[in-house]
Amino acid sequence: MQKLKVASFSVSIDGFGAGPNQSLENPLGERGKELHNWVFPTNTFQKMHGEGGGEKGIDDDFAARGFQNIGAWILGRNMFGPVRGPWPDENWRGWWGENPPYHCDVFVLTNYPREPLKMEGGTTFYFITDGIHSALEKAMKSAGGKDVRLGGGPDTIKQFINAGLVDEIHLAVSPVLLGRGESIYEGIDLPALGYKIVERAATEKALHLILKK
């Protein structure tokens, strides 16, 4: 059975999934990169970016699991880029260059229409203006029986969780205090929604938690 998964979602000790003031210079918000220090050295991340020789071990195992059996992605608009309001043009083509790391269809939630954007490596971005249920339906169909990965950001993830649509959540809790930013926990009650921690593993760089209903 197909699942909607949140995988490798990095969060600070004080519950922030992104730093404040996202910009072209700070795509993850101010200090947001610190949340992801566990994944940058991994073999999985290095291979995605054309490098080699990354670290193996628990952190890499969790990073790799996040890409297994994934046939489509869903992203909030902020994950696609820093542009706000109506698209002024179609010059912005994402953070990743001409060959994004998805290599499948990606459904971007937005309030403003835009034509699909076909990139190198098999990635096509579709811009969905009619809500999260429509995005999930389209992503599940596109995935062809495989799972769908929900990439964030925090507000997008919370919308899907509160709607009862997320089957599995992997949180990587980094030993970082941000103090401010976008909270992943505010406005959701995970136990009331039926989530339980079913797996945990700790490294020097992260506490990995798997939650399922």
Show me where the domains of the chain are located. Answer: 4-15+29-82+96-212
pLDDT surpasses 80 at 49: no
Q: What mean pLDDT comes out for the span 42-68?
A: 92
Q: Please state the rounded mean pLDDT for residues 79-95.
A: 90
User: pLDDT confidence of 24, banded at 50, 70, 90?
Assistant: confident
Predicted confidence (pLDDT) at residue 61 exceeds the cutoff of 80: yes
CATH 3.40.430.10 correct for 4-15+29-82+96-212? yes
pLDDT for position 25: 85
Which residues are CB-contacts of 34 (< 8 A; sequence separation ≥ 6)?
12, 174, 176, 178
The confidence band for 10, taking pLDDT boundaries of 50, 70 and 90, is very high
pLDDT tens track for 156-172: 999 999 999 999 999 99
Please give the pLDDT value at position 125. 98
The number of CA neighbours under 13 Å toward the Cβ of 104 is 22
Amino acid at 87: W
Q: 122, 132, 50, 125: which is closest to 94 by C-alpha?
A: 125
Q: What does pTM read for this prediction? A: 0.94
Residue 175's pLDDT band, with cuts at 50, 70 and 90, is very high
pLDDT tens digits, 180-208? 999 999 999 999 999 999 999 999 999 99
pLDDT (0 to 100) of residue 117: 97
